[in-house]
A and B are shown apart, each in its own frame.
Chain A
């Protein structure tokens, strides 16, 4: 096996995806001939205008959507469906089971994945400590704030002990201050755990603050236009956010995105999206 292959956690080759049949009115080409390698241990952000196919790509990577054409490999395994032992997902919101406590949510997730019964309680405890929620194990999701719920969702994903985390706008429904704090915590976690993370976001600031690399999407049908590198070690501090380099990279991202956002807005008059991007909040935040 070559050096490049062993360093690649996820490899995406020539993936295109359309929703609906070609002759339907709702036919949408979401992704066009996209190729991408995600390196082991990096945090890669996918950013782009609404409906550009970045969430579609994330779902294809995780085996939740079978692409129309193209292949995805996780390590040396081709992806044909969910891979619970390699990949854990974190969704935008409300993916915790509301009828179960945080602790029960985690136990249930581990039982789905097939973790032996004896290990579950220990792992749940460790994951809750990692996100600072160990005192809230007995609470129901509805008793927690939005930010705490997303921490709990993160803990549930961590308890599965996968090498890869796929995060679909995980902080998208939170207020800016909460998402800044959660972003810092995620950076700390990343510096400790060496996980590979792919992170979909609308927020330029969030992308630059968190990512080792940012993949910028074109307007629909989406493909990767350019990848920029953010060379700053994790854990990143809030000082990084006020540095000149941070602003320069965010401006660079904005330049890259600007035309695509215009194009995307021109498209949005037509019938659109089957699956993509629940909202178009965010924008240039942070």
Chain B
């Protein structure tokens, strides 16, 4: 093998899979373009990618997305913080007792498997059409992965580490801070990431069903007015926001798990 083809192979190893991913997205955009320009798909149902792009630029330039983005992010932040705090506290307390684990772990796992979004009409009746119902639903949905992973994380700390720390004279606080928390952290972080993802999903989802404002509300509103290109532009915007937030949360997750 020549040196040149060796270097080529290295380059392919490194960027090959990225290249395929980019090509995949490009192919979809191309099909989309062909569908609207050549194959006669109705423009009212499916606007061309070019017009979506023009609308997207317009949305960004005018900054009209700001009010809706603020509302959605506020709902997400409040729901995630409340679910994180309550889920980790409740989960930690349960993890301290084998009896509580035996009672609550299967109970929470069972509730977690129910599609809680079904209760959205009830939440709207209780909390109204505004942000309160979205926040309440987001909390309910993301509480369960957080509490379950906290129970798993703190409930399965290697006993020899606890015994070793106690034999060296660790106080209860030192044991918690320097042994239990770092041992449980990777599992708890996975639960937080999961909780964040489904909070985002359920909040935007419920905005599209019954709401007064927010990105989900805006998208449905545009659809009802048949302003399809602008609606697609908003969908692209939401996808970008979601990818950005999930990447940030994943990076935090990976940081907490490094070196072990």
Report A's interface with B, CB cutoff 8 A: 62, 64, 82, 84-85, 87-89, 91-92, 94-95, 97-100, 108-109, 111-114, 140, 142, 160
Contacts and interface: CB of A to CB of B under 8 A. Distances in A.
Contacts of A140: 259-260
Contact of B182 (A95, A97, A114): A97
A186 B47 CA distance: 78
B107 to A, nearest CB: 27
A87 B179 contact: no
B166 A97 contact: no
B164 A95 contact: yes
Contacts of A111: 174
Given A97-B182, A112-B174, A84 B260 contact: no
Nearest to B175: A112
Given A82-B169, A85-B169, A109-B168, A99 B259 contact: yes
Question: 6 closest Cβ contacts across the A-B interface?
Answer: A84-B169, A112-B168, A112-B170, A95-B164, A89-B167, A99-B182
22 contacts: A64-B163, A82-B167, A82-B169, A84-B168, A85-B169, A89-B163, A89-B164, A89-B167, A91-B160, A91-B163, A94-B158, A95-B161, A95-B163, A95-B164, A98-B260, A100-B182, A109-B168, A112-B165, A112-B171, A112-B174, A140-B259, A142-B260
Contacts of A95: 160-161, 163-164
B178 interface: yes
Interface of B: 158, 160-161, 163-171, 174, 178-179, 182-183, 185, 259-260
A88 B168 CA distance: 7
Contacts, number: 58
A108 B168 CA distance: 9
A248 to B, nearest CB: 37
A111 B171 CA distance: 10
Given A97-B182, A99-B260, A108-B178, A160 B161 contact: no
Given A64-B167, A99-B260, 11 more contacts: A82-B168, A91-B163, A97-B161, A97-B178, A97-B182, A99-B259, A112-B165, A112-B168, A112-B170, A140-B260, A142-B260
Contacts of A92: 160
A127 B115 CA distance: 57
B169 A113 contact: yes
A89 B163 CA distance: 9
A87 B260 contact: no
A112 B182 contact: no
Contacts of A87: 167
Nearest to B182: A99
Contacts of B174: 111-112
A222 B213 CA distance: 73
Contacts of B168: 82, 84, 88-89, 109, 112-113, 160
Nearest to A111: B174
Nearest to A92: B160
A128 to B, nearest CB: 17
